[in-house]
Amino acid sequence: MSAPLYAGLAAELRQKITSGAHQPGGRLPSESELQAEHGVSRHTVRQALMLLAREGLIISGQGRGWYVREVRPLNWTASRTERNLSTDQVPNDAWARDVRGQGRRPTERIEVAMIRAEARVAERLDLATGATVVVRRRYRYIDGEIYATADTYYPEPIVRGTPIAEPDDVLPGVYAVMAKMGYGWERYADEIVSRPASRDEADRLGVYPGDPLTEHWRTRLTARGEAVALMHTVAPGDRLVIRYEGRWDTDGGE
């Protein structure tokens, strides 16, 4: 009939957080304090805290306590051009420029590997499952903190022997190299889905298993409709705002 004990406790704490009585970054009373204050068992206290943690309001650290979470979402305008002509030490793609435009510092770590395409990759690149692809794995950081992983896949025959297949910055830029070979992209087909983090991803991105992740797939196509590159971005959902701007009349419509 009535709400569970832990739900009431959670509601009380939630109210204190949203009203500002507990500031972002601030610390909540310890579990034993909450237990004593409310006259409930520790398990009940933890149920309330974990409910709020799943809602993204608080976060815990073993041996440290429970803290009100601070979120600073990042805006990424995905519909902007991606034909960056120069790549220097600092990342210079559309994403990096969006980050800098918001007064923050983007860095990244790149690994390059040659692998067999799994089904999700192969079907988007119009290849057979198991075909060889070159993947450039990017770990993107903002102000030194991990923010997203972005893997870009290229069919191996296209990029064989080019700087794209090497684990260095690509000069004068990936688009320039691809365009020179007749694979410049002009169109994109994007898919966005949100789902809970697995344990691996949670470790990699610094969140909890089950926290919402945003998954963004971008297939880059030539004017002829040939898929020449596939970018797969995974980021904690509340840390990334994806933006699109467009006109209806240019889409052809019906």
Partner DNA sequence: GAGTGGTCTAGACCACGTC
Partner DNA sequence: ACGTGGTCTAGACCACTCA
Residues 6+ apart with CB under 8 A from 150: 95, 137, 138, 140, 231, 232, 233, 234
90 binds its own copies (CB under 8 A): no
d(Cα 42, Cα 120) in Å, to the nearest integer? 44
Residue whose CB is less far from DNA, 70 or 190:
70
Task: Name the segment binding its own copies (CB under 8 A); options: 124-132, 143-151, 164-172, 188-196.
Answer: 188-196
| Residue 188: contacted member of its own copies, DNA, none (CB under 5 to 8 Å, by partner type) | its own copies
Residue with tokens 């510092």: 105
Residue whose CB is less far from its own copies, 64 or 254:
254
Give the HSE-up count for residue 23: Cα atoms under 13 Å, Cβ half-sphere: 2
93 binds its own copies (CB under 8 A): no
198 binds its own copies (CB under 8 A): yes
Mask for 125-164, x = binds its own copies (CB under 8 A): ----------------------------------------
| Residue 89: contacted member of DNA, its own copies, none (CB under 5 to 8 Å, by partner type) | none
| Residue 214: contacted member of DNA, its own copies, none (CB under 5 to 8 Å, by partner type) | its own copies
Beta strands (DSSP E) in 93-202 are 106-116, 132-142, 145-155, 187-196
Residue whose CB is less far from DNA, 187 or 199:
199
d(Cα 154, Cα 12) in Å, to the nearest integer? 51
Residue 208 has phi, psi (to 5 degrees) of -95, 150
User: From the CB of 32, what's the least distance to DNA, in Å?
Assistant: 5
Site for its own copies in 232-251 (CB under 8 A): 237-238, 240-251
Neighbours of 195 (CB within 10 A): 13
Residues of this chain that bind its own copies (CB under 8 A): 7, 51, 54-56, 73, 75, 78-83, 185-199, 209-214, 237-238, 240-254
